[in-house]
Amino acid sequence: MSDTQIPDAPDSARRTADGGHHDAGDNGYSKQLKPRHMSMIAIGGAIGTGLFLGAGGRLAETGPSLALAYAICGIFAVLIVRALGELVVHRPSSGAFVSYAREFMGEKGAYTAGWLYFLLWAVTGIADITAAATYAHFWSAFTSVPQWTLALIALCVVLATNLISVKYFGEMEFWFSVVKVSALVIFMGVSVFLIATRHPIDGHTPGLGSITGHGGLFPSGVLPMMLVMQGVVFAYAGLELSAVAAGETANARSVVPKALNSIMWRIGVFYVGSLVLLSLLLPHTAYSAGQSPFVTVFAKLGVPGAAGIMNLVVLTAALSSLNSGLYSTGRILRSMAMAGSAPRFTARMNKGKVPYGGILLTASFGVLGVVMNYFVPTEAFDIVLNFASFCILATWGMIMLCSLLFWRRSQRGLVHRPVYRLPWAPYSQIVTLLFLLAVLVLMCADGGVGTRTAMAMPVVAAALVGGWFLTRRRVAAIAAGGRRPGDGHAAGAAELPAGTAGDSDRER
């Protein structure tokens, strides 16, 4: 094999003596995440900035039909997570879908999936610190503090806590999720009471009149509801976090399915249910892009301190999302670095077995978010949201392609599908891919920020192609035997476990 020839076929993946795939990026992690951590991480991944902050502006734009958009996108989000869950049960890996792309699509597929996912969380981190700074301005003590300063503080605090150990990450996400879920449960309980008793809110009586008396289900027409789906897709980013965390929990094959099985009702209750209640409580014109809709309700309700408490909750959600992004990209980048397609320093781990190199690389992009909050504080969230929407569409597309290829290999008898699987394959994968393509087209057709984001996609594609040509020699060298000509140990690679060959051809 020449030093630039990269094995792309599935048979080129490294395999253990029993024929299973092995990813060197899975070595070195501690198994400190417990079932309760995994369960709450799965819940927390489904509740983030896209709901707590982004829903305000989208409600004002599309009205009650936003709940329908969330329901439609939620169905496909469930299919994607179910497909990813099947792959996790097939083989748990901290590299998650990047590792699966390597197994079924070769190194080019892993490279593409990994860097798109990195871009997703890099720009989502910008959205999160922007949201955190926006929430902080709710309190009078912070109104005089520049938004970029608050964004910088949020980034530094979360970065510091993320670098300790996976155990602390799990505990932090556990309690973040407890706070978010508890707040939503309380909100929904209070909302049902207000609607049932028709208790006035800022002079308005909640109920169906909030919908029928203000333009109906589609006050601005059907098209705005369709166009807003790009932002709705962003709200579901994070559902794949459980798959990344699977590599750091014991008994992942039994723990992960239990954590993922409840996603359907979580989406129905927390997302769709909350939006229906918000639409019944107040007219859609009462909400705005600059404030969380949950805070709007409690502020207009006039309960002393209620709005401040809810604002603290949504601030927690933003910090939780940022924490999750740093965690997941650190693991993804390490998986790529061990294969040679990411910078070598991203493979480094500290004494707490945390891949700090990848975490620091992702956090460095947060500095860009601080700059954006300095120059364009009012547009920063919308700009990065649209770019992140493209990245999550691409990431989900890669997941479904891996699932489809896995299904095809199972039909050839090369792998066995586990009991926990994506139903209705291969139609589920095909329909989901068509849906993601339709959302991408809608994003390109949308005016303003959406169109400008679409115009940036060729730049992203060119960067990916250029990066591949810069790294392909190192990838080929590691795939051929773990060393790059003229270098020492390649890419910080760890020794493979006993029984693992340098490439599959030796085993086969």
Give the separation between CA 385 and CA 245, rounded to whole angstroms.
24
Nearest to 57, CA basis, from 378, 389, 443, 446: 378
Q: What sign does the CA torsion over 199, 202, 205, 209 have?
A: negative
Question: CA 226 to CA 402: how far, in whole Å?
Answer: 27
pLDDT of residue 317: 83
Strand partners, 15: 21
**Residues in contact with 40: Cβ distance below 8 Å, sequence separation at least 6, in sequence order:** 173, 174, 177, 178, 181
For residues 79 and 67, what is the distance between their CA atoms, to the nearest angstrom?
A: 19
Distance, CA of 315 to CA of 297 (rounded, Å): 16
Q: Which tokens belong to 368?
A: 């860009």
Query: 133: how many CB neighbours lie within 10 A of its CB?
Result: 29
Backbone φ and ψ for 223, nearest 5 degrees, come out as -60, -45
Q: Which of 151, 109, 125, 89 is nearest to 12 (CA)?
A: 109
- The CA distance from 471 to 407, in Å, is 30
pLDDT means per 10 residues in the chain (508 residues)?
42 43 62 71 68 83 93 92 91 84 92 91 83 85 88 88 81 84 89 94 93 92 86 80 75 79 78 94 90 87 81 84 87 90 91 89 84 67 69 91 96 93 96 94 70 72 92 89 43 36 35
**C-alpha span between 157 and 262 (Å, rounded):** 31
Tell me, what's the pLDDT at 287?
A: 94
Q: Which residues is 204 bridged to in the sheet? A: 201
Pick from 1, 393, 298, 359: which is nearest to 159 by CA?
A: 359
Is 113 within 8 Å of 121 (Cβ atoms)?
no
pLDDT value of position 374: 74
Q: Mind listing the domains of the chain with CATH numbers?
A: 10-27+34-454+489-507 (1.20.1740.10)
- Rounded to two decimals, the pTM is 0.83
CA 462 to chain centre: 24
CA 220 from centroid of its chain's CA atoms: 30
pLDDT given for residue 505 in this prediction: 35
Euclidean distance between CA atoms 239 and 446, whole angstroms: 26
Provide φ and ψ at 204, rounded to 5°. Answer: -105, 140
